[in-house]
Every structure is written in structure tokens, then in C-alpha cells.
């Protein structure tokens, strides 16, 4: 009885509530969008990889935001669909790249600079965008996947990835053998150990190849 009460209290808490997801996504998006605003105004603060931020920087230099807008928006769209199916939102593709680079680039490309140039407005804009993204994912899952015990597309996506991974082990061993005999032996031994351990042999092959490769490096 006591455990049931604890589980009920946990389910009602903010961190475990479904309705909290859009709020959390909104807070993170507000911070990332505001970081882009700082980068736009002061040249520092963007949350992303250097190569992706360089796309935005190029647009700030020559006024052509097409590359950053297309790249970021496509990532955002794909990750929102993925999050609706799998229930896991990829922060790098959705918030950092999509909200942090793609949407600001779109706004700047049409001459709407205020949400990016003004820091307080950037916080508000990011918050609204994040709440919308989180709300879309919540609604799609609640009214589709949430109505059944099956996860539909998630089963296909995750199953395909797991089945494909089983074929990587032999390919890694063959690649290691072509590199050198010691590295090939290390990959084979590592794969055999992981197979006996009932673990994916790809990991064992990689670790074994790295260990023998350290002691018997390939001369280039």
C-alpha cells in the first residue's frame, strides 16, 4: 500500500507529468534561442557545433540565410516526427539545430530581425516555439500511439536498427583483417569474447582491434 502511494505521488509530480514535457522543451528552447540572439549581437553564445553555426555566420555576413534555414528546419521537422514516434526528442537536431539555427535563419531571411536581435524577445520567442514543439509531440503520441500498446513506427525503426547492427560485427572483422594481421586477430578475439558473453559482437570487434592496434600500429 505504501509503495502504491509513492508511485501515485511520483506520477503526479511535475517531472513525471505528461503536461510538463512542453514546458521543459519550452524552457530549453528559450535558452538556446537566446544564445543565438547573443551570437547575433555579440558574436558569442550560440549553442551548436562550429560547422553549423558557421552557416548562420555566413548568412550574417552576406545576407544569404538559405543554407542555415534549410538545414536547421529540415532537422527540426525530422526530429519532431521522430519524437512523436519514438517518444525521445533529439535535443541536438531539434532544439540546438532547429530552434537555435534553423528558425532564426528563417526569420532573418525574411527581414524579421526583432525576435533575434532583442534578447528578451528572443527568450519569449524560444519559449513559445518550444512549447509548440513539445505540444505537437505530446498531442500526436496521446491521440495515436498512446491509444494502443503498440508503438507502430517505433517498433519498425528500433527493430530495423537492432537487426542491422547484427551484421556489423563480421564487416568490422573483415575491415580489421585488411588493415593488418594483428588488428584482425584482435577484432576476432574481441568478437569471440563478446559472443560468448552474449553481447553484440560489433563492440567486441572494435575494442579488440583498438587494443591490438595500439601495440601493433599500422604504418601509413
Residue 59, phi then psi, degrees to nearest 5: -65, -35
pTM for the structure as a whole: 0.63
Residue 202 banded pLDDT, cuts 50, 70, 90: confident
d(CA 112, CA 29): 19
Residue with cell 555566420: 57
* Cα 160–Cα 93–Cα 132 angle in degrees, nearest 5: 105
Q: Residue 2 is placed in which grid cell?
A: 505504501
| Angle between helices 201-215 and 181-196 in degrees, nearest 10 | 140
Among candidate residues 46, 25, 61, 26, the one with its CA nearest the CA of residue 116 = 46
Q: Summarize pLDDT for 75-91 with one digit per residue, the tens.
A: 888 888 877 777 778 88
Tens digit of each residue's pLDDT (9 = 90 or more) over 144-195: 655 555 444 444 444 444 454 566 678 788 888 888 889 889 999 999 998 8
Grouping H, G, I as helix, E, B as strand and the rest as coil, residue 148 is: coil
Residue 24 in this model has a pLDDT that exceeds 60:
yes
**For position 71, what pLDDT does the model report?**
85
Amino acid at each position: 500500500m505504501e509503495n502504491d502511494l509513492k508511485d501515485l505521488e511520483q506520477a503526479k509530480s511535475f517531472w513525471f507529468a505528461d503536461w510538463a514535457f512542453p514546458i521543459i522543451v519550452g524552457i530549453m528552447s528559450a535558452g538556446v534561442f537566446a544564445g543565438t540572439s547573443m551570437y547575433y549581437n555579440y558574436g558569442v553564445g550560440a549553442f551548436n557545433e562550429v560547422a553549423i553555426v558557421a552557416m548562420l555566420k555566413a548568412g550574417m555576413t552576406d545576407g544569404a540565410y538559405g543554407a542555415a534555414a534549410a538545414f536547421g528546419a529540415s532537422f527540426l521537422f525530422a526530429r519532431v516526427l521522430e519524437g512523436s514516434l519514438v517518444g525521445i526528442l533529439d535535443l541536438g537536431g531539434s532544439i540546438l539545430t532547429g530552434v537555435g539555427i534553423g528558425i532564426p535563419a528563417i526569420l532573418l531571411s525574411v527581414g524579421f530581425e526583432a525576435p533575434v536581435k532583442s534578447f528578451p524577445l528572443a527568450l519569449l520567442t524560444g519559449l513559445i516555439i518550444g512549447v509548440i514543439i513539445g505540444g505537437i509531440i505530446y498531442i500526436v503520441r496521446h491521440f495515436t500511439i498512446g491509444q494502443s500498446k503498440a508503438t507502430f513506427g517505433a517498433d519498425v525503426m528500433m527493430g530495423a536498427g537492432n537487426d542491422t547492427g547484427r551484421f556489423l560485427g563480421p564487416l568490422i572483422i573483415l575491415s580489421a583483417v585488411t588493415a593488418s594481421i594483428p588488428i584482425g586477430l584482435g577484432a576476432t578475439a574481441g568478437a569471440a569474447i563478446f559472443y560468448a558473453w552474449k553481447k553484440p559482437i560489433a563492440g567486441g570487434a572494435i575494442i579488440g582491434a583498438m587494443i591490438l592496434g595500439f601495440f601493433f600500429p599500422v604504418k601509413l
